[in-house]
Structure 1
């Protein structure tokens, strides 16, 4: 029932603290050449990380798994890619793929494939929030994802989604 679900609302202080922590982890492992944000929600964290890391090359790609905006939005059977060419050529690049939230893990997995197909030599992932209750990839999130901000069990509302 909708009233029984867990809803986590994050503020800008939460997001900037997460960005700073992830940036420290990334920096310790080597600053990437390129950041790729997953449109739409992953672009805001990607830009925050780009500034924190001093990376000027930021790209975006649209990979959607939800069919609409809003709490408990339905998901399509598989992530839908729009204009994969927006990644450009990533031949030999060290790429950090950034998204705001990972649920099932399908969108991240599909986007990693796209980045590798574009020629990236190294692909790491930074996910600000993992919805552990929805995860269904063969590996646990901590094994499948490189940098994780936090875990929740339920729907997340980010500050850029709030009126």
Structure 2
């Protein structure tokens, strides 16, 4: 379980790294879990344009919830037109890496010129991408060896 102090410290650290690499035009929170981290980063970076898209892999709430075979996308049109934008995709946790990879595809399809990712916690027990998380993701807040419960979730 992570507490708010840990989450805000992670947001501040990621924001500092992002700022050093150029503040993005738009933040995209991956719903549901990435919404709160996206807003925290938006405030820390002074970015007013925040969008959200629902890309889900888990089929229920709770520790070790069952996952669908592939990320399910709802309302990709909520991204709007991102033509030429520098976009930061934000999510609370990356397990297999499939959800963030699918979201990056959606953002590129919406026209983004540059796409970076910020993940608050990577669950390395579930990581399935060919490259390690540090190569596949732009900014990583922390690494965990199992399920993570965030303060906005019910344990």
Match of 1:138 in 2: 130
Task: Choose 1 or 2 for highest CA Rg.
Answer: 1
Does structure 1 residue 22 correspond to structure 2 residue 14? yes
Q: Which runs of 5+ in 1 are unaligned?
A: 1-8
Q: Paired residue for 2:79?
A: 87
Query: TM-score, normalized by length of structure 2?
Result: 0.99
Q: Which residue number in structure 1 is paired with residue 105 of structure 2?
A: 113
TM-score by length of 1: 0.94
State the 1:89 CA deviation. Answer: 0.3
Deviations 1:84-106 (A, max 9, x none): 00000000000000000000000
Distance in 2 separating the partners of 1:63 and 1:102: 12
Query: Match for 2:144 among 123, 135, 152?
Result: 152
Give the Å deviation of 1:153: 0.6
RMSD between superposed Cα atoms in Å: 0.7
How far apart are residue 162 of structure 1 and its match? 3.2
**Aligned 1:62-77 pairs, distance under 5 A:** 62-77=54-69
Rounded to whole Å, the distance in 2 between the matches of 1:81 and 1:162 is 24
Residue number in structure 1 paired with 2:45: 53
Following TM superposition, the consecutive aligned residue runs of length 4 or more in structure 1 with deviations greater than 3 angstroms are none
Structure 2: which 5+ residue stretches go unaligned? Answer: none
Displacement of 1:15 after TM fit? 0.3
Between the aligned partners of 1:43 and 1:146, the Cα distance in structure 2 is 18
* Equivalent residue, structure 2, for 1:33: 25
Distance 1:85 1:144 in 2: 25
Deviations 1:5-44 (A, max 9, x none): xxxx000000000000000000000000000000000000
